[in-house]
Structure 1
Amino acid sequence: MLGRPAVVASVDATLGEGPFWDDVTARLWFVDIKGDAIFSFDPAHNSVARWSAPTAPGWVLRSEAGHLLVGTKGAIHRFDPAGGDFTLLTPVEDDRPGNRLNDATVAPDGTLWFGTMDDGEVEHSGRIYRLDGGAPVDSGLAPVVITNGPAVSPDGRTLYVTDTLGRRIWCVPIGGANQLGPPELFTEIEEGAGYPDGPTVDAEGCLWTGLFGGWAVRRYSPDGQLIGHVPLPTANVTKLVFGGDGLRTAFVTTARKGLDDSALAAQPDAGHLFAFDAGVAGLPTPRIREGATMTDTGSSGHPAS
């Protein structure tokens, strides 16, 4: 089922995250949160482009209107790669300056679900939101220090939410009008195996998660049973996404964050983008339904570097 992960883009990301396969450009977009950078990897030409972001980009996704949207520290922006410009669309948690946006997904109905976290990784201030009418709406789930995901089941009825420091992934029923039911424990990562990072759901409804400090990605069945484990040559594995022909290539972001000089010497590929044959297809990422009330509120230019 599983190929051996290999480096496909050497980017030395401090905190690589947010991979997204864009069927419009046939490129993989991802970010370096702590490096304030956005990357685009073109597998057809084996090339990488880089842009500077306003601050701490957590994810890049595409909207129904064709725009690229980026979640940053305290806001969602529209991003124009042609000029490297960012246009503020909506603030998020501007009353919590210690928080930042961290991870996101798009449900089959076009709803953007995203999380926030304490940038200092101490306070229980991270929450899960959905974008509704162009504005963030709190999901009502209990706050944690570091949220990851969410991910959504193929039928759009289950939200998977990760409490990274708690080492737990929760499944939450999605009801009418995107109202959430009571969370149930999906799986708990055993002590010593790392911390669950970004989750992704494949075409068979199985959930994959990166393991920060765990040297691997894992695959879980829809009922929460561990059914796959793919080792990587670097400890901090952040998130997997499917792309390429037939969405059968697994792309994996990694991080150098928290590694001292001796660890980096032992892990020269830390922070790079990896890929492997997953043996299973992923799901296309739906476009974000931006909402009629989402309007431009300002812009700033950050040319490519």
Structure 2
Amino acid sequence: MPAGAEAVARVAATLGEGPAWFDDALWFVDIKAPAVLRFDPASATLNRWRAPDQVGWVLPAEDGSIVAGVKGGLHRFDPATGGFALLAAVEADRPGNRLNDATVDAAGRLWFGTMDDAEDAPSGAIYRADAGGIARVIDGVCITNGPAVSADGRTLYHHDTLAGLVLASDMDAGGAVTGTRVLARIDPRDGYPDGPTLDAEGCLWIGLFAGGEVRRYAPDGTLLATVPLPAANVTKIAFGGAGLRTAYATTARKGLSAAALAAQPHAGDLFAFDAGVAGMPLPRVSMATLAGFGPA
């Protein structure tokens, strides 16, 4: 069973998100700061870089570079200089949207979502980026979260957060998405489903925004475990550390009243707990996918 969570880094993020374990550290973002952050558990140090606009995530590429999802496009991020270089524009026709969450599948394809920054219009979508370019595969969602891809590449997990739906879609080898089904429904009184992550046993972990906990679901949607956190807004977890057995959870201060913040002194901080199970290694964005971005 998972162990209790504890704060491991003081972040006070307005909207912590996008945790990803690579290069022996936990990388994540504060979307609203906006900033990229890196936590080194060996030294307990936290580094921070200013982003040019709202940043939803950073992920590693095969060439050693880092790809960042910044409002309006995909960028290459260089931590040595703190610079961001545009790789490909995204949703120039939807200026009210921002990028929100992402993952890389075993084939090196990049999957990412967008959402209405005002959290009102169903203008969000999920995209697949590969050697053929950037393709919209799911559309018409106000707040997308995820996606996450199963180890066999046959299932795409994603959320319609405002509707409280944890969803699973079938995928073929080429990344075509069909047959979406509801895996779980979250009562809004329990919170809203935020970032999904898969473990080595194929189970799905989700954060509950306004719910103060992490949940683990079986592939058939059965609730297996819950991990409470002393912060209401839990956004996403990533597995890291030795054997990928430590779960790191990002949280947010966004939307909390002064009284709630006083009662939650670690709101917006980074937490960790023993998941009781290993995570899956994070693949890197392939060179073919990088080439598929085309001119910025």
Once the 2 structures are TM-superposed, how far is the Cα of residue 50 of structure 1 from its aligned partner? 0.3
1:243 aligns with 2:251: no
1:221 aligns with 2:204: no
Once the 2 structures are TM-superposed, how far is the Cα of residue 240 of structure 1 from its aligned partner? 0.6
Q: Please name the residue that 1:8 is paired with.
A: 8
1:269 aligns with 2:235: no
Identical-pair percentage: 57
1:118 aligns with 2:139: no
Q: Which deviates more from structure 2 when the two are superposed, residues 130-139 or residues 5-14?
A: 130-139
Q: How does 1:150-161 map to 2 (within 5 A)?
A: 150-161=147-158
Q: Please name the residue that 1:302 is paired with.
A: none
Gaps of 5+ in 1: 298-305
In terms of fraction of residues, the more strand-rich structure is 2
- 18, 21, 27: which is aligned to 1:29? 27
- 135, 140, 144: which is aligned to 2:141? 144
| Partner amino acid, structure 2, of 1:136 | I
Q: Which runs of 4+ in 1 moved over 3 A?
A: 293-297
CA offsets per residue over residues 25-52 of structure 1, 9 Å max, x none? 2010000001110000000000000000
What SS does the aligned partner of 1:131 have?
strand
State the TM-score, normalizing by the size of structure 1: 0.94
Gaps of 5+ in 2: none
Q: How does 1:80-229 map to 2 (within 5 A)?
A: 80-133=78-131, 135-139=133-137, 141-229=138-226
CA offsets per residue over residues 180-199 of structure 1, 9 Å max, x none? 11101111112310000000
- 70, 92, 104: which is aligned to 1:72? 70
Once the 2 structures are TM-superposed, how far is the Cα of residue 154 of structure 1 from its aligned partner? 1.4
| Partner amino acid, structure 2, of 1:143 | G
Q: Is the 8 A contact 1:90 1:134 kept in 2?
A: no
Q: Please name the residue that 1:292 is paired with.
A: 291
What SS does the aligned partner of 1:127 have?
strand
Q: How does 1:35-74 map to 2 (within 5 A)?
A: 35-74=33-72
Q: Is the 8 A contact 1:201 1:207 kept in 2?
A: yes
State the TM-score, normalizing by the size of structure 2: 0.97
What SS does the aligned partner of 1:160 have?
strand
CA offsets per residue over residues 68-109 of structure 1, 9 Å max, x none? 000011101000000101110000001110000000011111
CA offsets per residue over residues 109-152 of structure 1, 9 Å max, x none? 1111110000000000000000123732100x241100000011
Q: Is the 8 A contact 1:127 1:147 kept in 2?
A: yes
Q: Please name the residue that 1:300 is paired with.
A: none
Once the 2 structures are TM-superposed, how far is the Cα of residue 65 of structure 1 from its aligned partner? 1.4
Q: Which deviates more from structure 2 when the two are superposed, residues 284-293 or residues 50-59?
A: 284-293
What SS does the aligned partner of 1:176 have?
coil
